[in-house]
Amino acid sequence: MKMMPLERRGLSSSRLALGCMGFGGSWNAEEAYTSEHVLQAERAIDAALSVGITFFDHADIYTRGKAESVFGRVLKQRPGLREQIVLQSKAGIQLAEDDLPGRYNFSKEHILPAVDGILERLGTEYIDILLLHRPDPLMEPDEIAEAFTRLKLSGKVLNFGVSNMSPGQIRFLQRALPDPIVVNQIEMSLLRHDWIDHGMHVNQKAGLNDSFPEGLMEFMQMENIQIQAWGPLAQGRFSGRVSENASEAELKTAELVQELAKRNETTPESIVLAWLMKHPALVQPVIGTVNPERIVACKDAVRQAELMTRDEWYTLLHNARPANKPK
């Protein structure tokens, strides 16, 4: 069996990750998290661990820091848990405040205190991976390298990655960094399948509207960078939560997902994730839910990815975008 890039680097063998954006309650800065939110996080963490998920994904802005604080409360209650899991968080987004709009900030003056805040909220001395949260047009690789070096030497961050970046942006950044970029987290799902379309539409008119970065999938595989997929369950559109504005393609795909789940005696969630994980890039889906039942429903995804045939994979893709048949 092929090993994920993170596994080849000795960082993690967890094929799925749990995204913690929903931890901590609302995004209202005036509303504090409660003991019920801590219990909710604890149940989600236990559900993840029960199906072999040991990788947890955060960001300093999630519920305005409350997601990390709630997770930190759980870690404090279970002293031995920290060393059994991989913690990843992100920094670089500044939310709108007063007269200032939402913006990005990869300056050393922002990154260093942001990481201190992450560590304080999580109640840990280090995080395994820090991601730069979306591209900052004003980023200066040498300054970022200085910040990363200080974080690495202090033991606060062990590895570094990015999110939503193109090959050119990663190369631009990597040229100044002493350590390799180990992760790029991007939106990928059976609903958001432009990462597949881009490669299939080479030399076709259909490719004129593709916006996915040129060569990104191939670049990350060549550079041994872990591809993480955010939004991999597509908000449940194919596994039970039908949108009011669902297209014919979505309804048709959801029907096929249900059919495959029934035939293979598994869950729709596992089929949806298996479609992503079937790709040879060994995508690591980051499932974003606090619902223990939905987390457990993903447990069969790895096996289903191994069992899924080419015909099933292409039929799912065809149903998701029936207007764009392979030629």
Task: List beta partners, residue 56.
Answer: 18, 87
Task: List beta partners, residue 94.
Answer: 103
> Given 62, 104, 126, 314, which residue is catalytic?
62
DSSP state of 100: B
Distance, in Å, from the CA atom of 316 to the CA atom of 221, rounded to the nearest integer, reads 24
Q: Which residues contact 112 (CB under 8 A, 6 or more apart)?
A: 147, 150, 151
Distance, in Å, from the CA atom of 16 to the CA atom of 51, rounded to the nearest integer, reads 9
Distance, in Å, from the CA atom of 243 to the CA atom of 241, rounded to the nearest integer, reads 6
Cβ–Cβ < 8 Å for 15, 264: no
Residue 104 bears catalytic tag: no
3-state secondary structure 216-256: HHHHHHHCCCEEEEECCCHHHCCCCCCCCCCCHHHHHHHHH
Which of 228, 133, 225 shows the shortest CA–CA distance to 180?
A: 225
Cβ–Cβ < 8 Å for 273, 294: no
For the stretch 261-267, contacts whose Cβ atoms lie closer than 8 Å and that sit 24 or more positions apart, written own/partner, are: 264/304, 264/307, 266/300, 266/303, 266/304, 267/239, 267/297, 267/298, 267/300
Distance, in Å, from the CA atom of 32 to the CA atom of 25, rounded to the nearest integer, reads 8
Catalytic residues: 62
